Amino acid sequence: MLNVIEKILNFFVSDGEKSTDVVPKRDIDSSLKKSLEIFRNDFNESEDLIIREMKICGINSAIISIDGLINKSITGDILRLITKFESKTNNPLEIYKKIRDEVIAFSDQIEVGTYEEAMQMAMVGCAVFALDGCNKMIVLGVQGFSIRGISEPTSEKSQRGSREGFIEALRINITMVRRRVTNPTLKFETMEVGSTTRTTVCLCYLADRIEKKILKEVRKRIKNCDLKSVMTSGCVSPYLEEDGDLSLFASVGMSERPDTVCGKLSEGRIAVIVDGSPTVLIVPYLFVEYFHNIDDYALRPYFASLNRILKFVAFFIATLLPGLYVGLATFNPELFPGVLLNKIAMAVGTTPFSLMLETLIIHFLYEIMREAGLRLPQNLGHAVSIVGGLVIGDAAVNSGLIGAPTLMVVALTSISSYIIPNLYEPITLLRIFFVIAGGTLGIWGIMILFTAMLINLCSKSNFGIPFTSPVSPFGLLGMRDTFVRSSWKILSKRRNRIQSMPGSEI
C-alpha cells in the first residue's frame, strides 16, 4: 500500500520527462527564392501569411508579414520609401545597407540572421524585409493588432487607487510599469517559454533593489520550464514554486494592478509579465500580503489597520467557523448557551441528515451556484441568484431539509471568504477539511488540523525567504506594515526590502 502511495506522490511531484522539442536554428540563405520557399513551407501556405514581392534597383525583394497583426498604413509608407529608392550600384549588400541605414531608419528596427528569429518576429506583428543576395533580414516593428482597452480590473477593486489594470498586450503592460517608475534602474528582460507557442515572458525588477541570487534563480526556473504551450500566467506560476511544494497556499503572488506591482518592485520583488495574460506574477510573495490591498496605503493609518484586522478575523471565520460549529454541536453541545443550544437541537432534530453531512451539502450547493454565476452570461446571473436564494434559503429551511442555524453559519463563512478574494481557493478546501475533522473527531480534530496548517505555513519558503515572515521569524521592522499599518512618515524613513535569510540555499 505504501509503495502505491509513493508512486502516486512521485507522479505528481517529480519533474517528469523534459521536453525535447528543441527547434534547430537555420541561417538565412542569400537566395530570396529559397527563403520565401522556406517561409511558405513552414507556414504550410497559411492564408494569413502575406508576402509582398517587388524589385528594387532591378533586384528582387520582399516584405513578409502576418495579416491582422500589422499596421497597414505604416507598412504602406515603408513600402513607398523602399520602392522609390534608387541606387547607382547593383551590389545587393550595398543596397541592403543603404536601405537599412538611410531609407528605413526605423526606431523600432533590428537585424536577424536566422529563419526562426524572422518567423518569430513576424508572428508577433513585425514586418520582415528580405533582399535577394543578402543573408540577413530587417525586422520592422509595425504592430497594429486590436487590443482590449485599459480598464479597472474587476478582481481588484479600489476606492482611491488607480483605475488602470493590465491588459493582454505585453508592450502596453511594460509601458504602464515604466510610466509609474521613472527610474533608469528599472530593467526588463524577455525570454521565450513554450516550445509550441513560444510565448514571451518578461522579468521586471529594480536593479539596485533586487537581490542578485534571487534574480538568478528566477531566470533559471523560467528557462527550465518544459512547457509546450503557455496560454496564461498560471502555467508559469508552478515553476516559480519550490520543488515538492504540496501546500494549499501559493508563494507566488498575482495582481492585475500596475500600482500594486510597482509597489512590490520598490521592495526588491520581481514581476513576471506573460504575453497574452492580464495577470502579473510577483515573486517572492509572503502570506501576510494576501491581506494587504492598495487602498490600505491611501487611507488613514487607523482605518487601514482596522481593515487589516477585519481581514484576518474574516480568514479565521471563513476557515474555522463551520468546523467548530459541527464539532461543538456534535461532541460538546454543553459549550453553547442554553437558548442557542435549544435552537440548534430543534433544527438538527427536524432535518434528515447529520450535522456534518448537512453542512457539506450546503457548501457544495453554494459552490455549484457560485460556479454557475461565474460561467453564465451576465444577463442570466441574476436569475441564478434568485433561484439559489429560493432553493437554498426559504424552501430548503421550510421543508425541513436544512436547519436555519447551519444555513446562517455557511452564509457567514461564504461572505467572509470574499473579503480575501486571493485566498478563496485554499479557504474553500480548508473549510471542507475542518468540517470533516470537526464532525469525526470534534474539537481535537480541529486542533490537530489547525496545528498541521500552521506547521505547513511556517515550514514553507521560496527563494530562501520564509513564507510567514516577518511574523515567523519575527522582524520588528516588518511589523510596521503587517497586522497594522504605520503612517507614511514612519514607513518612509526606512522602506522594507525583501531579502533571503543569511546562509539559506536557493
| Dihedrals phi, psi of 469, to nearest 5 degrees | -70, 150
Q: What percent of the chain has pLDDT over 90?
A: 39
For residue 294, which of 249, 265, 255 has the smallest C-alpha distance? 255
Q: How far is CA 72 from CA 144, 298, 321, 406, in A?
A: 8, 44, 60, 63
Q: Would you say residue 249 has pLDDT above 80? A: yes
**CB-based contact 446:325 (threshold 8 Å):** no
| Per-residue confidence (pLDDT) for residue 222, from 0 to 100 | 93
**Over residues 59-88, mean pLDDT:** 85
pLDDT at residue 295 in the model: 87
Asked whether the predicted pLDDT for residue 74 surpasses 70, the reply is: yes
Residue 9 has pLDDT above 80, yes or no: no
pLDDT in the model for residue 386: 62
| Mean pLDDT for the stretch of residues 161-171 | 88
When pLDDT is cut at 50, 70 and 90, the band that residue 6 belongs to is very low
- pLDDT at residue number 206: 94
- Min mean pLDDT across 24-33, 73-82, 377-386, 440-449 is at 377-386
Least confident segment among 242-246, 278-282, 371-375: 371-375
Q: Are 81 and 117 in contact (CB under 8 A)?
A: no
User: Strand order of the sheet with strand 127-131?
Assistant: 49-56, 59-66, 127-131, 137-140, 109-112
- The answer, as to whether pTM is greater than 0.85, is no
pLDDT score, position 7: 42
State the greatest distance between any 2 C-alpha atoms of the chain, in Å, as a whole number: 104
DSSP strand pairing (186-193 vs 253-255): unpaired
User: Confidence class of residue 10 from pLDDT cuts 50, 70 and 90?
Assistant: very low
Q: How confident is the model at residue 20 (pLDDT cuts 50, 70, 90)?
A: very low
The average pLDDT across 239-261 equals 90
Q: pLDDT tens, 39-69?
A: 999 998 888 899 999 888 888 999 999 988 8
What is the pLDDT at residue 278?
93
pLDDT higher than threshold 70 for residue 482: yes
pLDDT in tens, 313-365: 999 999 999 999 999 999 988 888 888 888 888 888 888 888 999 899 888 88
Residue 371 confidence (pLDDT): 82
Cα–Cα distance measured from residue 261 to residue 209, given in angstroms and rounded to the nearest whole number: 14
What is the structure's pLDDT at 115?
92
DSSP secondary structure letter of residue 207: T
Q: Give per-residue pLDDT as tens, 95-141.
A: 888 888 888 876 678 899 999 889 988 988 889 999 999 999 999 88
446, amino acid identity: I
Q: Among 5-14, 116-125, 363-372, which stretch is predicted with the lowest mean pLDDT?
A: 5-14
User: According to the model, what pLDDT value does residue 161 have?
Assistant: 78
Looking at the predicted structure, is the pLDDT value of residue 176 above 90?
yes
pLDDT category at 381 given cuts 50, 70, 90 is low
Is a pLDDT exceeding 50 seen at residue 454? yes
Question: pLDDT tens for residues 493-505?
Answer: 766 677 666 656 6
Residue type, position 230, single letter = V
Question: Dihedral angle at the C-alpha atoms of 438, 443, 448, 450, nearest 10 degrees?
Answer: 80
| pLDDT for 17 beyond 70 | no
In the structure, what pLDDT confidence band is assigned to residue 379 with cuts at 50, 70 and 90?
A: low
Dihedral sign, Cα of residue 290, residue 244, residue 273, residue 496: positive
DSSP label of 290? G
